[in-house]
Amino acid sequence: MSARILIVEDEEPLTLLLRYNLESEGFDVESAARGDEAETRLKESVPDLILLDWMLPGISGIELCRRLRARPETEQLPIIMLTARSEEGERVRGLSTGADDYVVKPFSVPELIARVKAILRRAKPEMVATLLRAGDIELDRETHRVRRSGREIHLGPTEFRLLEFLMQSPGRVFSREQLLDGVWGHDVYIDERTVDVHVGRLRKALNKHRRASDPIRTVRGVGYAFNEEFRLRA
Ligand code: CA
């Protein structure tokens, strides 16, 4: 699983606990301790799910939730609200702000993770699937194996992550910058031409064994996409 989760929480020990547990489940975790900080960050990039504390400095979790629902980019973003026991009476208000679920503190971490997975399974089935299939290509996230028409394809770790990232959103065109963020991470400085090098290697490996159509489409002046005819089978 490589779904990105943003934790917005001002209790640092809780953030650390959640980060530790979510990362060991294979999620990419980011965190913000203030509502306004989270809002700024969400305008730059949208994660796959947010764990949002109710009471926060800056902008409250409720207000942030409302604002996120009002923006087309985050209208559908899965949100789980974290509320303190004393606020439980207001849970109806919490749900009417558009949160997908809410969890009352103190909560059991395994239960929270189960809810995270359940919501992601509904919202983004390709994010939690172990096996991604598109056309004649099969990518197994657990064993890190890739096959094309049943034949094993050997990929380096970066090419594997690149293929996984592209296969999650068939048809969508990603700029080199978006691929850098999604595959290499936000805080890494790498030249955008590096993306071309790895896409080249990935292409070569995928198209090696047979004269099949190239599943990766180059969009001139924009970036790359995984061909739509290789759309995931449900
Ligand atoms: Ca709080």
Q: What is the pLDDT of residues 44-91, one digit of tens each?
A: 989 999 999 999 999 999 899 999 999 999 999 999 999 886 666 666
> Can you give the pLDDT at residue 65?
93
Please identify, among 126, 141, 162, the residue that sits at the C-terminal boundary of a domain: 126
CA of 54 to the centre of ligand 1 (A): 6
pLDDT at 95 over 80: no
> What pLDDT shows up at residue 152?
92
Q: What pLDDT shows up at residue 234?
A: 36
Q: Which helix (H) or strand (E) holds 5?
A: strand 4-8
Q: Please indicate whether residue 134 or residue 34 has the higher confidence score (pLDDT).
A: 34
| Residues around ligand 1, an ion, CB closer than 5 A | 10, 53, 55
Which residue, 91, 109, 126, sits at the end of a domain? Answer: 126
Instruction: Read off the CATH number of the domain in which 179 is found.
Output: 1.10.10.10
Q: Residue 43: is its pLDDT beyond 60?
A: yes
- End of a domain among 126, 142, 158? 126
- Cβ(32)–Cβ(38) below 8 Å: yes
Instruction: Find the distance separating the first CA and the last CA of the chain, reported in whole Å.
Output: 17
Task: Indicate whether 143 and 118 sit together in one domain.
Answer: no
pTM above 0.85, yes or no: no
* CA neighbor of 61 nearest in space, from 85, 29, 95, 21: 95
Distance 37 CA to ligand 1 centre (A): 14
Overall domain count for the chain: 2
Ligand 1 centroid to 97 CA: how many Å? Answer: 17
Mean pLDDT of 202-231: 82
Domain that holds residue 180: 129-233
Ligand 1: centre distance to CA 136 (Å): 48
The CATH number covering residue 36 comes to: 3.40.50.2300
